[in-house]
Amino acid sequence: MKPYQQVPIVESGEPLIQIPENYFLLESPHPYEKLGAPYDTVSPYYLREGVLAALIAAQAKLQDAHPDWRIYVFDAYRPVAVQQFMVDYTFAEQLKTRGISASHLTEIQKQQVWDKVYEFWAVPNADPAMPPPHSTGAAIDLTLVDATGEMVKMGSAIDELTSRSYPDYFAQSQQPLEQRFHYNRQALRQAMQAAGFQQHPNEWWHFCLGDQMWAWLTNQQQPDRPVMARYGRV
């Protein structure tokens, strides 16, 4: 169990709403669909109604400071079955990266790989009291694009399982390019936080609003005014 999973959920009942393409850039087909993730008839580009409203507000905040930049939505709603698929896929990719054969995997190696996977990926838990954040419709992975449609450089790829993905990894760098990475990450974070989102501690691209992680992070910042999660699994 991760710490945020201890936060109670009082379900709001808000529906999932499709993310409008006229506001944000979306990739089709979705990157995980290309890998074979089992979405069936469900679209990944949905969010809870209140979360989508906040995302639209974040876009406006972003463009106040950077008129030519737009939010690029990488991932949003993720059924538990897709979470399971991607966790298994990531585990297999980590084995390839480390040059380890699954048939010769020791228990120590197995635990080391799972520790790295779960540093970034939520457990695909079917327990409604501990849903993966993306399975609530309240978490979103995103980045930015500039006026030419090019991705704004952030210093690591979305879903990269290295310390470069930590939001403040480049904060103390004296290298001009890495300072730019940090500036770009800050621009994204400031726009999202101004709209009420919280950022995943290990991922510059992951933001949430109303789920257990959001409540857990919010409660650390304001322990005298605790909140509960309002979005459970859908």
CA distance 207 to 197: 6
In this prediction, residues 98-124 reach a mean pLDDT of: 93
Catalytic residue among 33, 49, 119, 203: 203
203 catalytic, yes or no?
yes
Q: Is the pLDDT of residue 229 over 90?
A: yes
Contact 72, 150 (CB under 8 A): no
Report the top-level CATH class of 3-221. alpha beta
CA distance 105 to 88: 15
Residue 155 DSSP SS3: coil
Within 10 A of 63 (CB to CB), how many other CB atoms are there?
14
In this prediction, residues 209-228 reach a mean pLDDT of: 97
Segments making up each domain of the chain, as ranges: 3-221
Within 10 A of 167 (CB to CB), how many other CB atoms are there?
20
Contact 168, 182 (CB under 8 A): yes
Provide the pLDDT confidence category of residue 1 given band limits of 50, 70 and 90. confident
Task: Tell me the pLDDT tens digit for each residue of 122-141.
Answer: 999 999 999 999 999 999 99
CA distance 82 to 64: 35
The pLDDT score that the predictor gives to residue 91 is 96
The pLDDT score that the predictor gives to residue 103 is 86
Distances (CA, A) of 62 to 71, 186, 202: 8, 11, 22
